Structure 1
Amino acid sequence: MEVIREKQYARIIEGLENGEISSGRGLNQETSLRRYGDTRWGSHYITIIRLLAMFSSVLDVLEIIREDGMNSEQRTEAIVLTGIMESFNFVFMLHCLRRILAVTNELSQALQRKDHDIENAMSLLKTSKERFKLMRENDWESLLEEVSSFCIKHDIDILNMDDEYKLRGRSRRKSQGITNLHHFRYELFNNIIDIQLTELDDRFTETSMELLLCVACLSPNDSFSTFNKEKLIRLALFYPSEFSIVDLMVLGDQLDTYIIDLRGDDEFSGIEGIASLAEKMVKTKKNLIFPLVYMLIKLSLLLPVATATVERVFSAMHIVKSRLRNKMGDKWMNDSLVVYIEKDIFNKIDNEAIMKRFQNIKTRREQL
């Protein structure tokens, strides 16, 4: 990593001297390759972006390893990686995946936020689907031009799209009749887009989208601007075991009083997020006045809008329960995870309060 940084720094200096890149505040900051996370959405996108930006530096480092590697295995691996990276196929997939992941990046970020902005997330979902369809129809030529320019810049052979496609390990007889154009455009580019569209449709069905949009109507943001009585009653219909026919009738009347009461209460002005709404209702005892509405709020908070919370837990587990601490007990691990995951809350607690709490648990010989 140190050598990569040095190589990248030298290339930036050279580019500035040659006038190839511009200088200015905030530009050309130090960067490095970023390892992608198994459970972190968007990390692959950042990894690809940085690899594209540091492509030459990475190749330079691989060249150094090829010549000065610690052992033959390391040198062989560097040779193999160099051969893969300096191929048209690798460069094509790198640029193709960058474009694909760029389409869903904003959607992924929206779904990972703790304060789920469901309405905007659903809007981004529709936008992502539309962008994929437009990409499939219109982006092939620009992608191929981008890949070709990158190959020229880094002295990588460009394939003729009309030539027969050749794959390692596949006999000429099996690949006969398949052109490079057919393989890269239809078997890869179009196929990847179709897979992404299918994945989005499977994860966000019409029913789940309706459910999420109904939940968004509970948001207190901007003086309950998204409030919609009909959608909230529709939300209650998704939980027949919690709301009887009589409850649904009462809920409709209760919602009319609820929205007027909370909009006119200064205690509820300026709050954001359904979780904050639930806390404020308990604090002001509005949960007792509007029990059916509060039930809707609780169900919405329990609803797995996205796997972001679960994802954060698994990401934290890799840090808290490491290879060196793999025998950690469940209770100790749970306590450690709560402190780590909710560090924003625990950072606000004064150390003096923690020591007093610990001191008062039982009589101790020493005073903290």
Structure 2
Amino acid sequence: MARLMQTIFQSFEFVFMVHLMQTVLGFTTDLNYALQKRDQDIVNAVELIFLTKLQLQQLREDPGWDDFLQEVESFCVKHNIKVPDMDSFYRPVGRDRRFFIKIKNMHRFHVDMFLSIIDRQLQELNERFDEVNTDLLICMAAFSPIDNFASWDKDKLIKLAQFYPSDFSSSEMSHLPSALRLFLTDMRRDERFRKVKSLAELSIMLVKTNMHNRHDVVYKLLKLVLVLPVATASVERIFSAMNYVKNKLRNKMGDQYLNDCLVTFIEREFFLKVKECDIINRFQAMKERKVKVTLRSHEDEATEI
């Protein structure tokens, strides 16, 4: 078995798959990190989605295939790995040929592996970021305060409000165009908003300056923009955390206990800042629990509370 695994690891097919996965995942790494941030930069996320799809599409085309195949073959030559003839028939490594149809190596590596994996990745991106979702993100990006609201687009923000018909009344929708113009004028003339770089900082500054009451309709739209990425990312984060909290050894915990464990696990960055003495004092102060604490003075005399 060990010799068989060594043969597989030193085969052209294994090297081909490792390079392909490294290339494809390398294109999606930045997008993955951007979407998992707690404070998401919508403008950056929209651009990364477009660039990721563009890079994968360019890799799928003929120049991308030729460059990739040359890179794999150079690696194999450098490490003394046999490179198969692409015009000969495919022979699987460590597997019976009866389970594979009779095809050429070029078809096996180019179509069945290279194009298939790229198409699956593109399909996954298109399903998660379809026309509606991408359009929603583009409209959200028009709210960006970077460079003194350089990406501001009133029409896109009105279209964004139309995605939430239950949150805006007919009077608010009719008032929104003029409210957006007033908001933009107010933001660009106020020096305090020139250093704002994100939507989260914009909302904080609006509350600090009490301008959220002056621009209440626009502020409501801003809150919806902030809630959407946080809500979607939080759901994904919770489901991922459940695999760590509720495992095979702890699969019978109740809903309340599971919820408490998930909160402390997901927000562990904040809970690690809590002092142990504060936790002990909080636990002892709970009226529904009876705690027997033994205190010892410097004379080593025990006192019970």
Query: Given the two structures, how large is their TM-score scaled by the length of structure 2?
Result: 0.79
Structure 1 residues 206-237: Cα deviation after superposition (integer angstroms, max 9, x where no partner): 33212102112333445544333222111001
Q: Tell me, yes or no, if the aligned pair for 1:132 and 1:197 is still in contact at 8 Å.
A: yes
C-alpha distance 173-82 of structure 1, shift in aligned 2 (>3 A): closer
Quote the sequence identity (%). Answer: 43
Q: Which residue of 2 aligns with 1:109?
A: 33
Contact 2:38/2:230 (<8 A) preserved: no
- Of 274, 285, 300, the residue aligned with 2:225 is 300
1:211 aligns with 2:136: yes
Paired AA for residue 94 in structure 1: V
Contact 1:161 1:179 in 2 (8 A): yes
SS at match of 1:323: coil
Closer, same or farther: CA 353–253 of 1 in aligned 2, 3 Å: farther
1:195 to 2:120 alignment = yes
Say if 2:37 is the partner of 1:88.
no
SS of residue paired to 1:165:
coil
Looking at structure 1, the residues matched to 230 and 133 of structure 2 have their Cα atoms a distance apart, in angstroms, of: 9
Q: C-alpha distance in 1, partners of 2:257/2:194? A: 39
Cα distance in 2, alignment partners of residues 360 and 268 from structure 1 = 45
Counterpart in 2 of 1:97? 21
- TM-score between the two structures when normalised by the length of structure 1: 0.67
Contact kept, 8 Å, 2:144 with 2:152, in 1: the verdict is yes
- AA aligned to 1:132 is L
Match of 1:321 among 220, 240, 246: 246
Does the aligned pair in 1 maintain the 2:43–2:144 contact within 8 Å? Answer: no
The alpha-carbon deviation at position 348 of structure 1 amounts to 4.4
- Figure out how many residues of one structure are paired with residues of the other and give that number: 290
- SS of equivalent residue, structure 1 residue 324: coil
Q: Which residue of 2 aligns with 1:21?
A: none
Long gaps (5+) in structure 2: 296-305
- Which of 243-252 and 231-240 deviates more? 243-252
How far did 1:185 drift? 1.4
The Cα RMSD (Å) is 3.3
Structure 1 gap ranges (5+): 1-75
Task: Assess if the C-alpha contact under 8 Å between 1:111 and 1:306 holds in 2.
Answer: no
Partner of 1:130: 54
SS in 2 for 1:139: helix
Please state whether the residue corresponding to 2:249 is helix, strand or coil: helix
User: Which shows bigger deviation, 280-289 or 141-150?
Assistant: 280-289
Deviation at 1:112, TM superposition (A): 1.6
Which one scores higher on RCO, CA 8 angstroms, separation ≥ 6? 2
Structure 1 counterpart of 2:228, one-letter code: L
Please name the residue that 1:52 is paired with: none
- Between the aligned partners of 1:113 and 1:214, the Cα distance in structure 2 is 20
**Structure 2 counterparts to residues 258-297 of structure 1, below 5 A:** 258-262=183-187, 270-282=195-207, 285-297=210-222
Cα distance between partner residues in 2 of 1:331 and 1:272:
39
Structure 2 letter corresponding to 1:156:
I
Q: Aligned pair in 2 of structure 1 residues 355, 115: CA closer, same or farther (>3 Å)? A: same
Of the three residues 267, 272, 288, the one matched with 1:342 is 267
Match of 1:38 in 2: none
